[in-house]
Amino acid sequence: MSRIGKEPVEIPSGVDVKIDGMLVTIKGKQGELSLKLTDDVELSQEDNMLTVKPANDGKRARMMWGTARSQIQNLVTGVTDGFIYNLEIHGVGYRAAVQGKSLNLQLGFSHDVNLDIPDGVTVSVERNTELEISGPNKGQVGQFCAEIRKLRPPEPYKGKGVRYRGEQILRKEGKKK
């Protein structure tokens, strides 16, 4: 049995939930998010709790039970508080700047890298080398952070590159004389 799926999702005050068949729409102060569930789970609402149950005893239904509950919890958290990821840029001459709806990165290439900031995601730059990426949709914010990090992942010898705040990089020893 799913330990995650058993727990109900608590709906805080100020959040509206609308269930239309397999489509769940959640609206809060950060915006409105929706999720289409599979036929393998059943969703029910009692007072300020959402409960997810498997539709049958099949393996896929049991797998989707915890997944659906986690996705609904992420929607509720996203519309109430939002998600924030912090990135750090390490390296001489490496820096970032926001220009309108575009993120300009200088990562040691012969050219600047410009990324379009997706709708629903906000990027703020602190001290040229620290990025704060936030938004209500956890998947969208996480994907944008992964795309930025993929441009110049941290290398193991000097540690230069883009990393998440607090991420530990396994350093290697260089050549010996």
The answer on pLDDT for 1 being more than 60 is no
For the chain, the domains span 3-80, 83-164
Do 3-80 and 83-164 share a fold? yes
Rounded CA-CA distance 154/96 in Å is 16
3-state secondary structure of 133: strand
Name the average pLDDT for the chain.
Answer: 90
Which overall architecture, per CATH, does domain 83-164 show? Answer: Alpha-Beta Complex (3.90)
Provide the pLDDT confidence category of residue 143 given band limits of 50, 70 and 90.
Answer: very high
Question: Under CATH, which architecture does the 3-80 domain have?
Answer: Alpha-Beta Complex (3.90)
- d(C-alpha 13, C-alpha 109), whole Å: 49
| pLDDT interval class at 2 (50, 70, 90) | low
CA distances (Å), 127 to each of 31, 35, 55, 89, in order? Answer: 29, 37, 51, 10
For 65-90, b where at least 16 C-beta lie within 10 A, e where not — what string? bbbbbbbbbbbbbbbbebbebebbbb
pTM here is 0.85
For residue 42, count CB atoms less than 10 angstroms from its CB and return exposed for 0-12, middle for 13-18, buried for 19 or more.
middle
The burial of 27, by beta-carbon neighbours within 10 Å (0-12 exposed, 13-18 middle, 19 or more buried), is given as middle
Give the confidence band of 21 by pLDDT, cuts at 50, 70, 90: confident
Joined tokens for residue 117: 């900031």
Q: Work out the percent of the chain whose per-residue pLDDT is above 90.
A: 48
Quote the CA–CA distance of 51 and 112 in Å, as a whole number: 48
Indicate the helix (H) or strand (E) that contains 29: none
pLDDT, one tens digit per residue, over 85-133 is 999 999 898 999 999 899 999 998 899 999 999 998 999 998 889 999 9
